[in-house]
């Protein structure tokens, strides 16, 4: 697998918290928006940003369903050691639910409030703080999971960027579903893909779990460009 110097430098200077190029304190690692398409029709937009500092990283997303059908936000805080500090999810409309995931001793605990006025309850998980958050609806979390995979399964030597050929299993927590599981990530190929009429050479990976099969494409800056979920006739594209 041959790639450009941008991807090589990013892996070589990868931090424990998020696999991205070394940056100045508080610098934006990635930002922008993803369009979510079902059957070729745009149904939602996720606006996101990832900030990195020496003490850790913060990833924020806001998902808006078209025609004002719903809105929700999330914020993921990861320490410089790669451990989860805090994850928050808030539904802004049509409901007002919220949840928070934090370390509790050696494991993680989720505190949920289904709606204003309802009594909060806690859900413990027997998973460590190194577990990745992969919540429903936020595609930025898939980019971060891909960065973790690159940091653990890929190397650079004499200009060649190489990943393990076998699948690598990573533990994830899905707060919205109140469950944890394993996701298998695998490098597939370098591939020419035409997006918005422009041909680009991207790196393709697969994400396989009990929830189904996903395919993702990263550019040479390690930024997520495309997601394809065949079983759901869904495509996600960076704007």
Residue 216 token pair: 């993702």
DSSP of 128-196 = -TTSEE--TT-THHHHHHHHHHHHHHEEEETTEEEE-SS-EEEEEEEGGGTEEEEEEEEEEEEEEEEET
SS3 state at 12: helix
Confidence of residue 182 (pLDDT cuts 50, 70, 90): very high
Whether 137 shows a pLDDT value over 80: the answer reads yes
The phi-psi region of residue 87 (left if phi > 0; otherwise alpha if psi is between -120 and 50; otherwise beta) is beta
Please say if the pLDDT value at position 154 is more than 80: yes
Domains of the chain (ranges plus CATH)?
5-238 (2.50.20)
pLDDT of residue 165: 84
Percent of the chain with pLDDT over 70: 87
User: How far apart are alpha carbons 45 and 122 in whole angstroms?
Assistant: 30
Q: What is the pTM for the complete model shown?
A: 0.87
Q: Give φ, ψ of 71 to 5 degrees.
A: -150, 140
pLDDT tens per residue across span 8-18: 334 333 433 44
pLDDT digits (tens, 9 = 90+) for 81-126: 889 999 999 999 998 999 999 999 999 999 999 888 888 999 999 9
For residues 163 and 92, the model is more confident at 92
At 43, which helix (H) or strand (E)? strand 41-53
Confidence of residue 155 (pLDDT cuts 50, 70, 90): confident
Cα–Cα distance, 45 to 219 (Å, whole number): 20
Pairwise pLDDT comparison (146 vs 19), residue with the higher score: 146
Is residue 53 very low, low, confident or very high in pLDDT (cuts 50, 70, 90)? confident
φ, ψ of residue 176 in degrees (nearest 5): -60, -35
Contact between 182 and 173 under an 8 Å Cβ cutoff? The reply is no
Residue 94: asked if its preceding bond is cis (omega within 30°), the reply is yes
What's the pLDDT at 55? 87
* Inter-CA distances, 64 with 34, 36, 44, 67, Å: 11, 10, 6, 9
């Amino acid at each position: 697998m041959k790639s450009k110097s941008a991807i090589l430098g990013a892996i070589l200077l990868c931090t424990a918290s998020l696999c991205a190029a070394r940056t100045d304190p508080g610098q934006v690692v990635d930002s922008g928006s993803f369009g979510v398409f079902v059957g070729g029709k745009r149904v939602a937009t996720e606006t996101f940003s990832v900030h990195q500092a020496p003490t850790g990283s913060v990833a924020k997303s806001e998902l808006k369903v078209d025609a004002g059908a719903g809105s929700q936000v999330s914020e993921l805080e990861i320490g410089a050691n790669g451990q989860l500090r805090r994850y928050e999810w808030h539904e802004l409309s049509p409901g007002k639910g919220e949840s928070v995931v934090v370390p509790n001793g050696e494991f993680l605990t989720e505190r949920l409030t289904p709606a204003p006025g309802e009594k909060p309850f806690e859900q413990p998980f027997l998973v460590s703080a190194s577990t990745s958050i992969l919540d429903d609806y936020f595609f930025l979390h898939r980019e971060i999971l891909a960065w973790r995979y690159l940091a653990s399964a890929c190397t650079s030597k004499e200009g060649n960027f190489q990943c393990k050929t076998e699948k690598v299993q990573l533990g994830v927590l899905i707060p919205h579903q109140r469950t944890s599981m394993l996701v298998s990530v695998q490098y597939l190929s370098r591939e020419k893909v035409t997006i918005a009429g422009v041909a680009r050479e991207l790196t393709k990976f697969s994400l396989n779990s009990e929830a189904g099969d996903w395919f993702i494409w990263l550019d040479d800056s390690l930024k997520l460009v495309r997601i394809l979920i065949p079983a759901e006739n869904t495509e996600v594209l960076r704007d």
